[in-house]
Amino acid sequence: MKEQLRAIRGMNDILPGASERWQQFEQTVAQVLAAYGYQQIRLPIVEQTAVFERSIGDTTDIVQKEMYTFADRNGDRLTLRPEGTAGCVRAVLEHGLLNVQPQLRLWYNGPMFRHERPQKGRYRQFHQIGVETYGMAGPDIDAEILLLTARLWQALGLSGLRLEINTLGVAAEREHYRAALTAYFSAHRDALDADSLLRLERNPLRILDSKNPAMQALVSNAPRLDEFLEAESRAHFASVCATLDAAGIAYVVNPTLVRGLDYYSRTVFEWITTELGAQGTVCAGGRYDALVELMGGKPVPAIGFAMGIERLVELLAVQAGERSEASAELCVVSASEAESQAALLLAERLRDAHPGWRVVTVCGGGSLKSQMKRADRTGAAIALILGEDEVATATVSVKPMRGQGEQQRIALSELPTKLAALLTA
Ligand code: ATP
Ligand code: MG
């Protein structure tokens, strides 16, 4: 036997059984986004490496150690996208979308690639649905985006998510803060871990992002960014908070929330669950007013977020318990070869009558007993059996598979209505 080939570590197959949850998730999200006037943009998975280097910033984990970068057959430096924002800005500028519509609301969905250490909730190929808005500078869009995310969890039936928000101010405010942080952490150099020592040189704000428990005390006593904010940044943040209060959305202001990427300014946020272990952030984003100019456009304010589909689908599974969404409603069985065509046509009629029903046929013949076993495995609530007698009298034997009621004969003409009643009983 040949050696079994395997998928790449950290890159998952999404198998039947799980894919139904993904589809449902994606449909619900698409509906909510449409309700807020978002339009989908479909972007390439591979971009020139410069797209990410320039936008994400070379002091970040992503650019320093996580990107899948390679030379193609022409020798061009290309990268599998590690996130969606950079490519989205590139596309918006390349196609002049903002010249046509000065305010844009876009969303994307697809795989992202980061060479991280694979573990639960952290993969090398993972999927995000992301949202980006352009041309809106005020705190109202920040608040609307947070309302939108809250509505997403509600529409998905998810509960127990915590919203953390913070403001990073604007570049000049961060410069002053950076100086104060550098002074503080330099004075405590002995207590810094190796990662933080590196960050002290390159980008001291990112020390606040440290996940090392031994660093937590030092981090929580560090100077706070809000002490360095000017009136305008304070007012912006206060307005976002006021709208959340007015809408009844609970949140926690977390002054150490800085986000991993360099391009954020002012409002940043994360939605976090405690039900998935260490990788509890399911959605994260913020304002990035400087990025469009950095990518070669005119200055245009922007805010967006991305959610991790693996983590959210896992949370849906955890909160839904063992409930399987994959089962068919109906399964059609033919007692012998002679009725197999009639069985296929009956299934077609039922799909015509109720496009929402999942109707599975037990193809491939075999004894009635073995067919009933296969019917059971589809998870169907009801089996419809066609034998010689049923075909001759234009009836069907209707057998409940999950213990609701007796087997009965139903006339074909009455079948759709009677099945609808049985299935909702
Ligand atoms: P983390 O701090 O967990 O590494 P991040 O700040 O790198 O997250 P973002 O770049 O903001 O994450 O991505 C947004 C969301 O995408 C995250 O909140 C998470 O849900 C998901 N995500 C990010 N990286 C991964 C990964 N390697 N595997 C699975 N999901 C991920
Ligand atoms: Mg990360």
Tens of pLDDT, residue by residue over 143-200, are 999 999 999 999 999 999 999 999 999 989 988 999 999 999 999 999 999 989 988 9
Number of the ligand closest to the Cα of 56 = 1
> Residue range 200-225: average pLDDT?
88
- Residue 319 reports pLDDT greater than 60: yes
Q: What average pLDDT does the structure give for the chain?
A: 92
Best substitution site from 88, 116, 122 to test ligand 1's pocket, by max atoms within 8 Å of Cβ? Answer: 122
Give residue 260 CA to ligand 2 midpoint distance, Å.
7
Give the HSE-up count for residue 325: Cα atoms under 13 Å, Cβ half-sphere.
15
Q: Alpha carbon 276 to chain centroid distance?
A: 15
3-state secondary structure of 150: helix
Which residues contact residue 92 at a Cβ distance below 8 angstroms, ignoring those fewer than 6 apart?
98, 104, 106, 134, 292, 297
Categorize the per-residue pLDDT at 261 as very low, low, confident or very high, splitting at 50, 70 and 90: low
Q: Write the CA distances from 355 to 20, 350, 381, integer angstroms.
A: 17, 8, 17
Best substitution site from 25, 209, 254, 279 to test ligand 1's pocket, by max atoms within 8 Å of Cβ? Answer: 279
Give residue 361 CA to ligand 1 midpoint distance, Å.
41
Q: Write the CA distances from 283 to 20, 268, 419, integer angstroms.
A: 21, 11, 41
259 vs 239: which has the higher pLDDT: 239
The residue to which tokens 């339009």 are assigned: 39
Which tokens go with 176? 């002053």
Tell me, using a 6 A CB cutoff, whether residue 128 lines ligand 1: yes
DSSP 227: G
Give residue 279 CA to ligand 1 midpoint distance, Å.
8
Nearest to 163 by CA among 149, 174, 175: 149
What stretches of 135-263 show up as alpha helix (H) in DSSP? 139-156, 171-187, 194-202, 216-220, 231-247
Which residues contact residue 288 at a Cβ distance below 8 angstroms, ignoring those fewer than 6 apart?
85, 263, 264, 265, 302, 303, 304
Give 287's strand partners: 265, 303
CA angle 347, 350, 351 (to 5 degrees): 85
- The per-residue pLDDT for range 271-285, each reduced to its tens digit, is 999 999 989 999 999
Decide: 309 and 128 in contact? Cβ < 8 Å.
Answer: yes
Provide the greatest CA pair distance for the chain: 92
Tell me, using a 6 A CB cutoff, whether residue 115 lines ligand 1: no
Q: What residue's CA is closest to ligand 1, atom 9?
A: 284
Q: Write the CA distances from 310 to 140, 243, 274, integer angstroms.
A: 30, 30, 15
Tell me, using a 6 A CB cutoff, whether residue 262 lines ligand 1: no
Decide: 81 and 88 in contact? Cβ < 8 Å.
Answer: no
Give 108's strand partners: 130
Q: What residue's CA is closest to ligand 1, atom 25?
A: 122
pLDDT at 323: 46
- The per-residue pLDDT for range 118-133, each reduced to its tens digit, is 999 999 999 999 999 9
DSSP 122: B
Nearest to 376 by CA among 344, 331, 407, 423: 331
Rounded CA-CA distance 374/333 in Å is 9
- The per-residue pLDDT for range 21-33, each reduced to its tens digit, is 999 999 999 999 9
pTM score, whole prediction? 0.82
pLDDT at 404: 67
- The per-residue pLDDT for range 291-304, each reduced to its tens digit, is 999 999 999 999 99
Give residue 304 CA to ligand 1 midpoint distance, Å.
14
- The per-residue pLDDT for range 336-375, each reduced to its tens digit, is 889 999 999 999 999 989 888 889 998 988 888 999 999 9
The residue to which tokens 């839904």 are assigned: 320
247 vs 256: which has the higher pLDDT: 247
pLDDT at 325: 53
Nearest to 221 by CA among 203, 237, 207, 200: 207
Tell me, using a 6 A CB cutoff, whether residue 314 lines ligand 1: no
DSSP 147: H
- The per-residue pLDDT for range 44-98, each reduced to its tens digit, is 999 999 999 999 887 788 888 999 999 999 999 999 999 999 999 999 999 999 9
Rounded CA-CA distance 398/358 in Å is 16
Closest ligand 1 atom to residue 114 Cα is 27
Best substitution site from 65, 161, 281, 303 to test ligand 1's pocket, by max atoms within 8 Å of Cβ? Answer: 281
Give residue 262 CA to ligand 2 midpoint distance, Å.
13
- Residue 322 reports pLDDT greater than 50: no
Best substitution site from 55, 126, 314 to test ligand 1's pocket, by max atoms within 8 Å of Cβ? Answer: 126
Decide: 37 and 107 in contact? Cβ < 8 Å.
Answer: no
Q: Write the CA distances from 46 to 57, 155, 345, 382, 416, integer angstroms.
A: 18, 32, 46, 47, 49
Nearest to 121 by CA among 376, 385, 310, 333: 310
Domains of the chain in start order, with CATH, are: 18-169+229-320 (3.30.930.10), 330-424 (3.40.50.800)
Burial of 99 (0-12, 13-18, 19+ CB in 10 A): exposed
Number of the ligand closest to the Cα of 83 = 1
Rounded CA-CA distance 265/84 in Å is 18
Q: What residue's CA is closest to ligand 1, atom 21?
A: 308
Closest ligand 1 atom to residue 311 Cα is 20
